[in-house]
């Protein structure tokens, strides 16, 4: 098993900008694992890296664009989806992937996310949901669970959170999955 894992690590190294490592993510954070799974999937599927455009927004997950050796774009807060939409409309053959967090996609960019699902645009959106605004101090966000305590909800969140898979499915997305 260890040998297989080492071989897989070597196969994704070609997709990483080694000069930008180590990354900024906290120990135990799931972003690195999400990036690993994404790059492993690209490698196993045999997708040409020149046929992929990765778009990210702001926040911890938004930093993914700087670590991958793909054509990548780091956009302003909440605007990853409209930017990615423009890329896809401009080049239908391009595999467009948005890699961002729940604060960026469901809060500031929530309207864009819902309408992209409604339009069923041919792109992949990977949302790393940490249930708060992590990079700026752990404030309550639109996916923060009820009663969860954050730096801005000391007595617990009193607003019901968005259930992103249900929201996007109801908005018309053709494929929605959740992974924990």
- The CATH number covering residue 169 comes to 3.40.50.970
The number of folded domains in the chain is 1
pTM of the complete model: 0.89
Range of the domain at 154: 49-180
pLDDT of residue 10: 65
Strand 95-101 to strand 71-74: parallel, antiparallel, or no bridges (unpaired)?
unpaired
Q: Does residue 61 have a pLDDT over 80?
A: yes
151 assigned to some structural domain: yes
Asked if pLDDT for residue 69 goes beyond 90, the answer is yes
Q: Is residue 77 part of a domain?
A: yes
Is the pLDDT reported for residue 13 higher than 80? yes
Residue 53 falls within a domain, yes or no? yes
Kindly tell me if the per-residue pLDDT of 3 is higher than 50: no
Q: Is 5 domain-assigned?
A: no
Residue 54 lies in a domain: yes
- At residue 180 the predicted structure's pLDDT band, cuts being 50, 70 and 90, is confident
The answer to whether residue 43 is domain-embedded is no
Q: pLDDT at residue 9 above 90?
A: no
What confidence tens digit (pLDDT) does each residue in 108-122 have? 999 999 999 999 999
Residue 117, φ and ψ in degrees, nearest 5? -65, -40
- Is 143 domain-assigned? yes
């Amino acid at each position: 098993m260890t040998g297989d894992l080492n071989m897989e690590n070597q196969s994704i190294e070609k997709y990483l900008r080694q000069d930008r490592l180590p990354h900024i993510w906290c120990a135990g954070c799931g972003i690195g694992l999400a990036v690993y799974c994404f790059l492993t999937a690209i490698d196993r599927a045999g997708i040409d890296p020149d046929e992929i455009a990765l778009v990210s927004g702001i926040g911890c997950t938004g930093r993914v664009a700087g670590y991958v050796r793909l054509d990548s774009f780091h956009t302003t807060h909440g605007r990853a989806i409209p930017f990615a939409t423009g890329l896809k409309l401009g080049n239908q053959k391009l595999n467009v992937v948005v890699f961002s967090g729940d604060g960026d996609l469901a809060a500031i960019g929530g309207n864009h996310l819902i309408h992209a699902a409604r339009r069923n645009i041919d792109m992949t959106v990977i949302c790393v949901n940490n249930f708060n605004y992590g990079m700026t101090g752990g404030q309550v966000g639109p996916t923060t669970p009820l009663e969860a305590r954050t730096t801005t909800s000391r007595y617990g969140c009193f607003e019901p959170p968005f259930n992103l898979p249900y929201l996007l499915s109801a908005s018309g997305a053709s494929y929605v999955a959740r992974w924990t």
